[in-house]
Structure 1
Amino acid sequence: MQSENPFVADFVKMMNSAAGTLAGVGREARDGARERFKELMGDMDFVSREEFDAVKELAATARAETENLKARIDALEAKLGNS
């Protein structure tokens, strides 16, 4: 049979309270760090995925046009050189 020792009971209550307090402090610190990180990231100039994809497509189109023009110039130079 287990006897109720007031010292042990008080100690257990105190430890449970301390564990709850530490958990609360940990959550508060994590939430504060997360908020500061969001503010820091919000101040930076990042582009959205849609903007990135649009610029990537423009670059690919410009590259294709450049290659086409280069081929035309090479053909014209070859034609002039053979005349």
Structure 2
Amino acid sequence: MFDELGKLMNNAAGVADGVRREIETVVKSQLERLIADMDLVKREDYDALRELVQAQSLEIKALQDEMADLKPKSGKAAE
């Protein structure tokens, strides 16, 4: 009787594990579809764009500093 009960419990555990894996597969596929429909930006694209913006910000700052240095000189030349 105990052997039969043990076999039954093992079978139930196997079925439960199979159901769990099936649910995980369905949920994962649904989430992947949802994310694909959201038109999100890939991390690599975001990082590349962020680096580009940082480089341009530094360049803009350098140009602004250069313009600030030129403005007083042009004002003194006019006097």
What TM-score do the two structures reach when normalised by structure 2? 0.69
Matches within 5 A, 1:14-33: 14-33=8-27
Q: Which has the larger radius of gyration?
A: 1
1:9 and 1:50 mapped to 2: Cα distance?
56
Q: 1:78: which partner in 2?
A: 72
How many residues get paired? 77
Q: Structure 1: which 5+ residue stretches go unaligned?
A: 1-6
Unaligned runs of 5+ in 2: none
Q: 1: CA distance between counterparts of 2:8 and 2:44?
A: 54
Runs of at least 4 residues off by over 4 Å: none
Q: Give runs of aligned pairs for residues 1-83 of structure 1, distance below 5 A.
A: 7-82=1-76, 83=79
